[in-house]
Structures are given as structure tokens and as C-alpha cells.
Amino acid sequence: MSARLSSASALLGAVSLAISCAALADEPERNGGAVKFLTTVPVPGLRVFDISWIDPHTQLYYLADRSNKTIDVIDAKRNVLVRQISGNFKGFTGNNDTSGPDGVVTSGHWLFVTDAPSRVVSIDLRTDLIVSEVNTGGADGLRTDELAFDPVGGVIFAVNNADEPPFATLINVDANTGKLTLGKRITFKNFGPGADTATNGAEQPVWDRGTGRFYISIPEVNGTSADGAVAVVNPKTATVEATFPVKFCQPAGLTLGPNQDLLIGCSVVFDTAGVACAAATAPNATHPAGTPFDCHGKSANPKQVIMDARTGEIDRDVFGVGGSDEVWFNRGDGRYYTASRADPHGPVLGVIDAERQVLEQIVPTFNTPLNTPAPRGTAHSVAVNPHNNHVFVPLPGGNAFPNCLTGCVAVFGKAKRDDDD
């Protein structure tokens, strides 16, 4: 395990040319540079968790912590856990589909959180109290998962990923009181111009101010594992206006970058012949403990996908990292970051130059080994503070990262030098 920690601090992959990202960084981090492990923020008892979020205005990081049934709040400037918000969240039930909290996003002094069963809450961050909640009406016990927020229209787009078929709900937010009001439902069955059906859930949504649309990753359509999509939703009409196909990816994470580009985090690694590599579920003769996947004797071909949000055209397949869940664009250094828990190298943080559309680095993270008793956490969550370009990746307890024996959020970024100014 000490070797893993050593490699976590080492530089893997190519180092970028300096990137100019003027006016954001208020610390000496603005020139890109190689990403290293910097420190950890201990979160006692953290083993299973879900999505994370950074508010760039307050520089506060929010994590959906299922182990502690809280939203963990970290000062992303000082790297300090400042509080934990309780909201009668479900916690970990042994099944992700019925657990919570799940998704988090902020707008002003409002925090929106999804939970099980089919629950969305609004929390006033001035008091850390729930001011409103709604139920999206999913099947018994199933969660509402990821969400996105349109601050222009004051609309939440909340996804019930575990329902069959999955669906999303538009929820109106009163900006003055935080009150939530259920709007229309978009069901991912016979949806869009091609009448497609989602056959393996629905994943991360994102709002694009430039087009006035929500976008959502659909891992699989019409029962074919190689065929996924990004669905384009008009919140005013509650319809899927377009479906952009994505091959050999199983889209999960989704984030909006520069030039109206979307980075799609591919959750499944395919081989060079276009056949999915099998994810390990338990240690056995085929999948020994610690083996992230089995590519049936073929060469793995992990990738992420960059797509034009306006047309659905694929700008580039970025090869070299895959198996991602949440992904994030950091305007502070012009990079995409991927929480690639199922990469062929093992769990890694992927670093992609958004303008050049090339992979710069992969940096090791940590998954709970498969031979460890449940619950097992994975490094599938990532968010970045654009002011200092620090990257936050929650890690389950039981690893050799410093101060992470019982769980932590690892912080990565450019190591400061004496000549930084």
C-alpha cells in the first residue's frame, strides 16, 4: 500500500504547456502545471458517498456522505471540514438504488439535495435547515439520484436513475423562500426523435446557459451496450428535442467546458474491437482481488468523449482514461477532471486539457478492495475549486493516504514552489 501512496504523489502522464486562465485564481496556481497529491481532509467514518459540488463564490465543497447520513462541507480554500449538514437522509442501505444522499448542487444560499425514497430537498445554508421537500414519485424505496439546476429559470432537473424506465422531473424553485414545486416528468422510454428507450439507467445532467437546455447522459439505449446517448431536454416544453449518439462509452459523467463542448465520462471500458470489458464484482479465479475489470484477453481502449453541445458532433475521443463516473470542468486552469474508478490502471484521477483535447495525466486514487467486507467505496466523485485549482476526490477509509484511515477527501493540485508569485 505504501507503493500506491508513493505513486499517488508521483507524476503520471504528460505535463501540459502553461494555460492562461486570467482573473480567476487568487493564489499562485493559475499556470496549469502537473497535478500532484497535496493533502487530505479527514472525514471520520466516510466509506460510501456519492456526488460532490463546489460553490465557486463561497469556495465551499459539498459531499453527499451516505456513511454519516450528512452533507459534508469543506472549506476548499483552507482544506478544512467545517461542518456536516443533517437532513434525515436515508444513509447507505446496502443497495445504491435505495440509498442517499445522492446529488448536491447550490445556488446562492440554497442547497439542493436528492435522497431516497424519490426525495428532493431545499436547505437554507444560513441555518442548515430544510425549508422544502418534494417526492418525485418513483417506485417504492428507489432514490432520486443526480440533478442539475437552471439558475435563469429557477428549475431543478432531478433524475430517478434506478426506476425502469428511468425518468427526470422538473422542479420549480422559489428564489425567495426555497420552496420546491413539482413540474413535469420526462420519461426515458420512446423518447426523442428516434423514439429511443434507456435500458441501463440515466446519469449526470448539466445545464447549458448558452443553449437554454439540460443535457443528460444515457448509458445505454435500446438494449445495446455499445450504444449510449446524450439527451437534450427543453425545460420550457419538458420534451427531449434531440438525442446525440455516443458509441463504445456507456455515458455517465457530463460537464460543460469551453466552446460549448461537453465532456462525457465513459463509465465502461471497451476493447479495440468494440466489446465491453467486464467489471469485476467479487474476487474469484477470473477476477482476483483488486482486479478492476476483465477485458477477455483483448486490449482495453479506455476513453472519454468531447462533444459539441449545439450539434452533437463528436469533437474528439480522448483515449487513455476511462471507467468514469462524475466529471468536472475547471475554468480556473482550463482542464477537465475525471473520477475514473474503473480505469484499466486501477482507480485514477484523469486530467484532460480542454482546449487541446488531450489527456495530460492520470493520478492514482483508491477504491476499497473487493476482498474487504462491505460497504465498499469507490473514487467516483470529483469537484474542483477554480480559485486555487485544488481538486477534491473523496476516498473511502482503509487506505494509506495520510489521515485517511477512517475516510477522507483527498486534495490534488499543483505543488507550490518557492519561486511561485
Q: How far apart are CA 343 and CA 213, in angstroms?
A: 31
Q: What is the reported pTM?
A: 0.90
Position 126 pLDDT exceeds 60: yes
Q: Is 243 exposed, middle or buried (0-12, 13-18, 19+ CB in 10 A)?
A: buried
DSSP state of 171: E
| The pLDDT value given to residue 32 | 66
Q: From 14, 98, 4, 118, select the one nearest 50 (Cα to Cα).
A: 98
What are 107-124's pLDDT values in tens digits? 999 999 999 999 999 999
Range of the structural domain that residue 224 is part of = 2-413
Q: Number of structural domains, the chain?
A: 1
Find all residues with CB under 8 Å of 75, minimum gap 6, and list them.
Answer: 59, 60, 61, 81, 82
Query: Is 294 domain-assigned?
Result: yes
Query: Is 419 domain-assigned?
Result: no
The pair phi, psi for residue 130, each rounded to 5°, is -70, 130
Query: Is 130 domain-assigned?
Result: yes
Compute the Cα dihedral for 72, 75, 81, 86 and give only its sign. negative
| The pLDDT value given to residue 33 | 86
CA–CA distance from 27 to each of 21, 54, 75, 388, 391 (Å)?
Answer: 12, 17, 15, 6, 14
Q: How far apart are CA 23 and CA 190, in angstroms?
A: 45
Average pLDDT, the chain: 90
Q: From 241, 238, 313, 323, select the one nearest 279 (Cα to Cα).
A: 323
| The pLDDT value given to residue 27 | 41
DSSP state of 221: B
The pair phi, psi for residue 98, each rounded to 5°, is -120, 15
What CATH number is attached to the domain comprising 167? Answer: 2.130.10.10
Position 313 pLDDT exceeds 90: yes
Q: How far apart are CA 368 and CA 406, in angstroms?
A: 12
Find all residues with CB under 8 Å of 116, minimum gap 6, and list them.
Answer: 90, 93, 97, 98, 99, 100, 102, 141, 142, 143, 144
Q: Are 352 and 263 in contact (CB under 8 A)?
A: yes
Q: What is the mean pLDDT of residues 121-131?
A: 98
Query: Three-state DSSP class for 133?
Result: strand
pLDDT band at 349 (very low <50, low <70, confident <90, very high): very high
Q: Are 80 and 74 in contact (CB under 8 A)?
A: yes
| The pLDDT value given to residue 280 | 56
Q: What is the mean pLDDT of residues 254-275?
A: 96
Query: Is 270 domain-assigned?
Result: yes
| The pLDDT value given to residue 370 | 84
Query: Is 68 domain-assigned?
Result: yes
- Backbone dihedral region for residue 260 (phi beyond 0: left; psi -120 to 50: alpha; all else: beta): left
DSSP state of 198: B
Q: Is 65 exposed, middle or buried (0-12, 13-18, 19+ CB in 10 A)?
A: buried
Q: Is 225 exposed, middle or buried (0-12, 13-18, 19+ CB in 10 A)?
A: middle
pLDDT band at 38 (very low <50, low <70, confident <90, very high): very high
Query: Is 360 domain-assigned?
Result: yes
Query: Is 362 domain-assigned?
Result: yes
Q: Which of 21-30, 79-88, 145-154, 200-209 is predicted least confidently? A: 21-30
The pair phi, psi for residue 334, each rounded to 5°, is 70, 35
Q: How far apart are CA 63 and CA 111, in angstroms?
A: 11
Q: Are 211 and 224 in contact (CB under 8 A)?
A: no
Question: How many angstroms separate the most distant Cα atoms in the chain?
Answer: 59
Q: Which of 1-5, 347-351, 352-356 is predicted least confidently? A: 1-5
| The pLDDT value given to residue 1 | 38
Specify the residue for cell string 428535442: 241
| The pLDDT value given to residue 29 | 43
Query: Three-state DSSP class for 246?
Result: strand
Query: Is 420 domain-assigned?
Result: no
What are 183-198's pLDDT values in tens digits? 999 999 999 999 999 9
Q: How far apart are CA 114 and CA 107, in angstroms?
A: 15
